[in-house]
Amino acid sequence: MTAGVRLLALSLALIVLFMLAAGVAGGARAQAPDAEAGDFGGGDEPAAHVPWTGEVATPDEGTSSLAGTPFDPARLALLPQLRVGLVLDPAAGDFDRAAPFREALERGLRLPVLLVAYRDLSRLQRALVAGEVDYAPLSASAYAQAQRMCGCLVPLLSPRAGDGSAGWHAVALVARDSPLQRLADLAGARVATGPLQSTGARRVPLAALAAEGLDAERDLAALVAHADPLAAADAVRRGDADVSFGWSSLRGDVAEGYSRGTLRDIFERDGAAASLRILWASPPIPNAAHAARDTLPEPIRAAIVELLSETAEGEGGFEAARAISPFGFVPVEAQDYAPVLATFDGQDGAPAGRLRPLSPPR
């Protein structure tokens, strides 16, 4: 390590200490209640905080860190600073990638915005539950579990996918000539699922089965987890299972397996239409949830929704936010995540790893 690098690291460390002492980064760090090992990936270990590099404006400066953009006194009276949590990897250049998002939020909201980096999704989830940040993007399952744990979150927006869809559906797949026609027919069936913690390819369909009065352990002939939804679908195609669980956008060309999802994966791999049909599909489930704590003043929440929703139309000069969602956002409500919320009781393992809001549901 060169002397210059060591000096920079020392300077950043001193800035962190000053910010913590002054309460800029959120004051004392409350700990979320522990559940099973892995719930937050860290037990009692506090979440890793990496203040955003670059200038961070404070309320008494009167203007944002973007020259010429005055803060709104009325909003400052409601909230001195908006703390936004993100999963970022400084070594991968994520600071530079997300910098336009902070700048656009600060310019549009006319509030000081502090971005706080976390090393993985479970720590980001923990930070939002504990009140260390005011607002953060979570996967659908991470939001649902956090909401079951604290009842303190309000989903604001969800990013669009490249095909224009604002969400996805969990699906049950059977052979085209299968006599099975509905979920209630699955008593005595052999069912193939995705991994045990898969939201679309296991948890949501099993919750739907339970709503039909079927108990998986009691009423199914077999319930076998596979490495992914594609492997589960292959079990049906081989005749090793009667039903598989997966996911689909239910948008686009049916003959090509729709635009995204398990059937699309089969089509792209095999180059032909899948020999499966959809027995059942869940209500639409939004993509990732950009969620805020309910303690964030409602006018600020509304301003965030109004600001970021503009990107869905591609107008209004707010292209910088597309660094976070290249295809824009759509407003969402808690009821939109009902199929996923139904699968969490507050004691399940939390998601791990980096958040990729538009990746296929896992």
Model confidence over 203-260: pLDDT tens digits?
999 999 999 999 999 999 999 999 999 999 999 999 999 999 999 999 999 999 999 9
Residues 18 and 147 in one domain: yes
pTM: predicted TM-score of the whole model, two decimal places: 0.74
Return the axis-axis angle of helices 94-109 and 298-309, rounded to nearest 10°: 110
Rg value, the chain, Cα? 22
320: pLDDT strictly greater than 80: no
> What is d(CA 241, CA 243) in angstroms, rounded to the nearest whole number?
6
Structure tokens at 286: 């939004």
Boundary residue ending a domain (267, 283, 299): 283
In a domain? residue 277: yes
Claim to verify: residue 295 and residue 322 sit in the same structural domain: yes
> How confident is the model over 133-158, as pLDDT tens digits?
999 999 999 999 999 999 999 999 99
Assess whether pLDDT exceeds 80 at residue 33.
Answer: no
Centroid of chain to Cα 186? 31
Q: Please tell me whether residues 153 and 11 are part of one structural domain.
A: yes
50 and 112 together in one domain: yes
The answer to the question of residue 206 being in a domain is yes
Among 266, 283, 300, the domain boundary falls at 283
User: Do 151 and 295 belong together in one domain?
Assistant: yes
Considering the domain boundaries, does residue 265 fall inside one?
Answer: yes
What's the domain range around 221? Answer: 167-283
- pLDDT at position 41 over 50: no
**Residue 186's domain is classified under what CATH number?**
3.40.190.10
Asked if the model's pLDDT at residue 42 lies above 90, the reply is no
Residue 362 located in a structural domain: no
Residue 273 has pLDDT above 60, yes or no: yes
Collect all residues with Cβ–Cβ distance below 8 Å to 12 and sequence separation of at least 6: 51, 53
Identify the band that residue 45 occupies on the pLDDT scale cut at 50, 70 and 90: very low
Same domain, 135 and 268: no
- Candidate from 55-69, 207-221, 261-275, 333-347 with smallest mean pLDDT: 55-69
For the beta carbon of residue 31, count every other beta carbon within 10 angstroms: 17
